[in-house]
Amino acid sequence: MPALDYNGAATPTSNPYNSNQVCNYLLVGQGAALIEAEMLVAPRYARLRRLLLSQTSPRQADVLLVAGPVNLRLRKALLRLSRQLAAPYQILEVGNKVGLPDPKQSLYTQTESLAKFLSGVHVHTALQDKLITPPQIAHALHALPPLPAAITTNKQATEGPGDLIPQRSSEDREMATEDLTLSLGPLHPAIYGPLRLILTLDGEQVVAATADSGYAHRGLEKAAEGHPPAAVIAYGAALDGLAPLAGAVVVAQALEAIMLPEAAKLSKRAIYLRVIALELERIASHLFTTARLLRTLNLDGKAAQVLEERAKVVSALEIFIQAVDNAAVSAYIKAGGVRNDLTPAAFRMLEEVTGRLRYWTEQEFTPPDLFGWVGRYAFESRLKGLGIIDTDTALEYCLSGPNLRASGIKLDVRTVAAQTNNYNDISSVYQELGFEPIVVKGGDAFSRYHQRIAEIAASTSLIKKALKRLPAGSYQYKLELDELKPQFGMVPAEASSLIESPRGLLVAHLALTLVPGKGLVVERLRLRTPSWAHYSLLPQLLVGERLDDALVVINSLDIAPDEAER
């Protein structure tokens, strides 16, 4: 594999950039959202975008790019989708073993290649067990064999569009309007990740909605059982592709609560470093959600600018945690501390990024800058009053995170000292930094949009303060996990911990037990994910909205299907 320079300076001859073959791809799967965010808009892939064009319809795609793990339900959906492609086409599967530290453990995730189920079409598999970056995908796409020659005959009927028009039944002949049942997802261009909703439409208005989950379920908690304690952090990190660190931290905290001796304290420096990483990740995630909302509104240009910012934040994060590639992000968090200390280069990078972000948030992310108030009015009219969650509903459905605070409830786990036996509580650091939860009133999509932007600003200032007050000391606990001898017998030792992930309240409950012959293993891991609560509210929230508004509402809630379904 030749070294590729994707900054466009000197390109070797084997570089796919030099081939002039345009590739239309349709990106689906659990990893699609992240890859698309990188690939479509990040400036460093501008040259890539010339040749790799994302399509929204399967009819115009050359390559169906399946990113991330495929579970059994999603596989059926993919089989159907592959029949809608126009010949000649190929299917490229990337990273289908990513998402679980050990994919063979899971009963739900398919580890065989799709090629087994699709004969007669060209299925290729690449980069099975790595997390994927756009250049890698570009390379894999260009490494594909040439498309088979175009078939000129039109004899063979292909799969028609899925949604046939329902015929009216004879018993239902009153002059009432007829409902239309529309399946939104799991592979819909405006929905990120395999999320499916079955909408009943009256005209364009949603009269009923049903959530159909299960396309992203990987059996993460079950798969974690039986592993040694050191491995369980990786399962927490696999929870959410957009925020691996939050999952890793919450599991690590639970682990520390069990394993570390009663008197032991994590060094303040380690917690500060964790806070910086978490806040950077929160900024990146919120920027991504904002961009996703903007793209739903067809504001691709503005979304691109936001995603550029995100790319900078992500690269700062990568430098901060000294990640070699994406796969190493979660390895930063270790039980008892973090993997590496803050380097001077990372310090400079963080200062630069926070400076930029301050500039950005001062501009208040006014996305449409056409004629001032015209653009602003158009933008607000698409968001205001949509998907209103009042405080009662928000509490009733156990919402958390920005969605809850956008409904006017001042609750942020970062300021709440944990009620569990976790004595190395991260909230004390937030209190030291003088963090106050941000609350925006209104509860509609516009409030949620503003909530996220305000939280980006708050996180920026948190990072600045943390860098300023970073205490000296060790960044790791003095002993490795293996050397610890926790004092309990066959009764499982349990601990919970909670954290404010970018999407809300993330709780991990971990039980370790001593198995003769195997030593200390994970008895049970339970993760309470914030997106699941938002997902369950979604059907109720959509009723009464129009179809185009419904997509705005879905994207304003920031539901990560892989996180929700674990």
Partner 1 sequence: MMSWTEVLNALAVLGAVLVVAYFTAYLDLCLATRAAGVSLTSLPKPLGILQPLCITFNLLTKRDNRLARADHLLFRTAPIVAFVTILMVFGIIPWGQALIGRDLNVGLFFFLAILGPVTITLMNAAWGQNSKNGVLATFRAGAILFSYEITIGFAIIGPVMEAQSLSLEKIVAAQHSIWYIVLQPLGFAIYLVAALMMSFRPPFDIPLAGSELAGGALAEYSGGRFVLYKLALNALAFLLAAIGVALFLGGWQGLPLIGPFLPDWLWFLLKSFGLLALMLWCGYQLPRLRVDQMLALAWKILLPLALLNIVLVGIVALFV
Partner 2 sequence: MNWNDLLQWIVFIVCAALVLGGALGMTLTMSMYRAGLSLMLCLVAMAGLFVLLEADMLAVIQVMMNVGGMLVMTLFMVMLMQDPGGEMMWDMKRKMQMPGFAALSMFMPPKPKEVASKNSSPDSLNQMVAQNGAKMKMTQTNKSEEMKMAAQNQDGMIKPSSSDPHRRLREIQQAMAVMQQQLVALEEELDQPPTATGSGNMDGMHHSNQPNMSSQGQSGSSAQTQPTFYTCPMHPEVRSDKPGRCPKCGMDLVPVEGSDSSSGSGSDEHSGHQTMSGMRQASSSDGSGSMAGMPGMISGAGGDGSMNMDMTVASMQKRDPKGYYKMMEGMAMSTGQLKLAGIFSVITGLVLVFLIARVAWLPKSPALDLDGPTRVGDLLLSDYMMAFEGAALLILAGIVGAVVLARRERNRPQKKKQSRIASTNLVAPKHTQDNTPALSKPYLQNFRVVQKAVASYKAASPSGTTTQEVG
Subset of 15-34 contacting partner 1 (CB under 8 A):
20-24
117 vs 75: CA distance, rounded Å: 9
- The CB-of-532 to partner 2 minimum distance in angstroms stands at 13
Considering only 2, 12, 72, 87, the residue that binds partner 1 (CB under 8 A) is 87
- The CB-of-355 to partner 2 minimum distance in angstroms stands at 42
Structure-token pair, residue 408: 């006017």
**Considering beta carbons, is residue 381 or 431 the nearer one to partner 1?**
381
CA distances from 239 to 281, 508, 565 (A): 14, 11, 9
Q: Which residues, 6+ apart, have CB-to-CB distance to 483 below 8 Å?
A: none
**Contacts to partner 1 from residues 355-374, by CB under 8 A:** 367-370, 374
Q: Which residue has the tokens 């073959």?
A: 21
**Range in contact with partner 1 (rule: CB under 8 A) among 96-104, 199-207, 479-487, 524-532:** 199-207
Considering only 102, 116, 143, 181, the residue that binds partner 1 (CB under 8 A) is 181
Axis crossing angle, helix 373-383 with helix 445-468, rounded to the nearest 10: 110
Considering only 88, 142, 179, 308, the residue that binds partner 2 (CB under 8 A) is 179
- The CB-of-394 to partner 2 minimum distance in angstroms stands at 20
Considering only 5, 7, 60, 80, the residue that binds partner 2 (CB under 8 A) is 80
**Contacts to partner 2 from residues 159-178, by CB under 8 A:** 159-176
- What is the spatial order of strands in the sheet that 519-528 belongs to? 493-501, 504-515, 519-528
540 binds partner 1 per the rule CB under 8 A: no
**Considering beta carbons, is residue 60 or 381 the nearer one to partner 2?**
60
**Contacts to partner 1 from residues 32-71, by CB under 8 A:** 41, 43, 46-47, 49-50, 53, 56-57, 59-60, 62
Question: Would you give the binding string for partner 2 spanning residues 480-519, x where CB under 8 A is met?
Answer: ----------------------------------------
**Contacts to partner 1 from residues 382-411, by CB under 8 A:** 382
Residue 259 has, within 13 A of its CA and on its CB side, a CA count of: 28
Considering only 299, 346, 445, 463, the residue that binds partner 1 (CB under 8 A) is 299
- The CB-of-67 to partner 1 minimum distance in angstroms stands at 18
187 binds partner 2 per the rule CB under 8 A: yes
75 vs 78: CA distance, rounded Å: 5
**Contacts to partner 1 from residues 129-148, by CB under 8 A:** 147
What's the angle, vertex CA 39, arms to CA 33 and CA 40, rounded to 5?
Answer: 85
> At 54, phi and psi to the nearest 5?
-80, 140
Interaction partner, residue 549 (partner 1, partner 2, none; CB < 5-8 Å by kind): partner 1
152 binds partner 2 per the rule CB under 8 A: no
**Range in contact with partner 1 (rule: CB under 8 A) among 304-312, 327-335, 449-457, 496-504:** 304-312
Residue 195, amino acid: L
Structure-token pair, residue 519: 């030593």
534 binds partner 2 per the rule CB under 8 A: no
**Range in contact with partner 1 (rule: CB under 8 A) among 187-195, 321-329, 400-408, 470-478:** 187-195
**Considering beta carbons, is residue 152 or 170 the nearer one to partner 2?**
170
547 binds partner 1 per the rule CB under 8 A: yes
Interaction partner, residue 107 (partner 2, partner 1, none; CB < 5-8 Å by kind): none
Axis crossing angle, helix 547-556 with helix 268-296, rounded to the nearest 10: 170
- The CB-of-562 to partner 1 minimum distance in angstroms stands at 21
CB 134 within 8 A of CB 97: no
159 binds partner 1 per the rule CB under 8 A: yes
**Contacts to partner 2 from residues 50-69, by CB under 8 A:** 57-58
Residue 98, amino acid: V
DSSP state of 14: T
DSSP state of 38: I
**Considering beta carbons, is residue 64 or 138 the nearer one to partner 2?**
64
The radius of gyration of the chain's CA atoms, rounded to the nearest angstrom, is 24
**Considering beta carbons, is residue 32 or 429 the nearer one to partner 2?**
32
In DSSP terms, 91 is beta-bridged to 64, 123
> At 109, phi and psi to the nearest 5?
-90, 135
**Considering beta carbons, is residue 112 or 178 the nearer one to partner 1?**
178
Helix (H/G/I), strand (E/B), else coil: 3: coil
DSSP string, 420-460: SS--S-THHHHHHTT-------S-SHHHHHHHHHHHHHHHH
**Contacts to partner 2 from residues 85-144, by CB under 8 A:** 116-120
**Considering beta carbons, is residue 95 or 185 the nearer one to partner 2?**
185
157 binds partner 2 per the rule CB under 8 A: yes
312 binds partner 1 per the rule CB under 8 A: no
Q: Roughly how many angstroms between the first and final C-alpha of the chain, as a whole number?
A: 34
User: Exposed (0-12), middle (13-18) or buried (19+): which is 439, by Cβ within 10 Å?
Assistant: middle
Three-class secondary structure assignment of 307-322 = HHHHHHHHHHHHHHCC
CA distances from 456 to 250, 400, 410, 443, 450 (A): 21, 17, 17, 18, 10
Structure-token pair, residue 420: 């569990």
Q: Which residue has the tokens 């793990």?
A: 69
Q: What is the DSSP pairing of strand 63-67 with strand 90-94? A: parallel
> What DSSP element (H or E) covers 553?
helix 547-556
Considering only 47, 49, 83, 376, the residue that binds partner 2 (CB under 8 A) is 83
Structure-token pair, residue 229: 């304690």
Question: Would you give the binding string for partner 2 spanning residues 252-291, x where CB under 8 A is met?
Answer: ----------------------------------------
Interaction partner, residue 80 (partner 1, partner 2, none; CB < 5-8 Å by kind): partner 2
Considering only 111, 128, 200, 305, the residue that binds partner 1 (CB under 8 A) is 305
Task: List interacting residues with partner 2 (CB under 8 A).
Answer: 57-58, 73, 76-77, 79-81, 83-84, 116-120, 154-157, 159-176, 179-181, 183-189, 196, 198, 200, 207-214
